[in-house]
Amino acid sequence: MQVTLVTTFLNEAADIAGFLDSLAALTRPPDEIILVDGGSTDGTQDAVRAYLDAHPALPARLIELPGSNRAQARNHGIRTARGEVIAMTDAGCRLRPDWLARLIAAFERDAACEMAGGFYEAEARTLGERLAALATVPGVGEIAPETFLPSSRSVAFRKKLWERVGGYPEDNSYSEDTEFDLAVRKSGAKMVFVPEAIVTWRIDGGAAGIFRRFFRYARGDAAARIFSPAYRRAGLQFILFTALVALSPSVPWVWLFAVPVVGVYWYRLGTRAQGRGGRGIEPLLSPLVNIWVDIAHLCGTTIGLFERRR
């Protein structure tokens, strides 16, 4: 079985060598590696070329596609791939040595398997990064395999499946992998969850970075008419809060109802953070990140609704 690994990147000069090191250390190396640059301006292309020159055994080639979004870059890389199976990941990740071997084993065990979804873990070094991870990154025990939609930072699929569903939607610049996964599920393809196939990535723990990431996800999803329970929950919470504010001038005691509701909300999210490995004061603080994420979801969904593509 020939396997092509495709990844895309933009302005990753400071981190690309670490990613390529993890790629080179795979116990089951890909037969072909396609690296698609979307128009970096920080010297990423030169860093990649220098790395490939120093590691001639790595079967990799660099494609430059300035101005492309991730979906366009992914599709272009896959279109030129020779492999029967395409493995996808992101350049900001670190691949566990057995990552690709575990994904490919799913196809080798079952000829009917068309997509193998791996998992991912956040690398958190600061308090902000830990709080962001505890609030937004689910543990493997929280995943329902029958409904899991794999991120394209950790997935493999047959090239024929990609062709059948029309590839990644190139008019979706923010949540193209979710829309692609839903098309795969709608097609009836057999999808397998491989929780042991893990990549890690450095999560952004800054307020601006968190907002930007979840705003973009919600915006892309809303434009594609994808409304997850998280977006519905954020909308309901906004409606309830607005109702409380509207009623409070004439019914001041209405805020008494908010106290137990907020208490339950904080307890539930804090307990979840503790179950994800939160320690000390972290479970108490992590719900603040959830509130910030919900605000980003609301803003992104609102913008996305005006950008509906169909």
- In order, the DSSP letters of 210-249 are HHHHHHHHHHHHHHTT---HHHHHHHHHHHHHHHHHHHTT
Q: Which residues pair with 36 in a beta bridge?
A: 8, 63
CA distance 285 to 275: 14
In the chain the first and final C-alpha atoms are separated, in Å, by 38
Q: Please state, in angstroms and rounded to a whole number, the distance separating the CA atoms of residues 76 and 113.
A: 24
pLDDT tens, position by position, 38-76: 999 999 999 999 999 999 999 999 999 999 999 999 999
309: pLDDT strictly greater than 80:
no
Amino acid making up residue 100: L
**Residue ranges of the domains in the chain?**
3-202, 207-305
Compute the distance between CA of residue 170 and CA of residue 162 in angstroms, rounded to an integer. 13
What is the predicted pLDDT for the residue at 128?
Answer: 94
Percent of the chain clearing pLDDT 90 (strictly above): 79
Question: Token pair of 224, please?
Answer: 């594609």
pLDDT at 238: 84
Q: How confident is the model at residue 259 (pLDDT cuts 50, 70, 90)?
A: confident
pLDDT single digits (tens) 170-185: 998 888 999 999 999 9
Question: What is 3-202's CATH superfamily?
Answer: Spore Coat Polysaccharide Biosynthesis Protein SpsA; Chain A (3.90.550.10)
**SS3 state of residue 147:** coil
Inter-residue contact 227 to 308 (CB < 8 Å)? no
d(CA 209, CA 205): 7
Give the closest residue to 215 by CA, choosing from 146, 137, 279, 302.
302
Residues 205-251 pLDDT 10s: 999 999 999 999 999 998 888 888 888 888 888 887 787 777 777 87
Residue 51: its H or E element: helix 44-54
Q: What is the pLDDT of residues 96-130, one digit of tens each?
A: 999 999 999 999 999 999 999 999 999 998 999 99
Q: Residue 310 pLDDT > 60, yes or no?
A: no
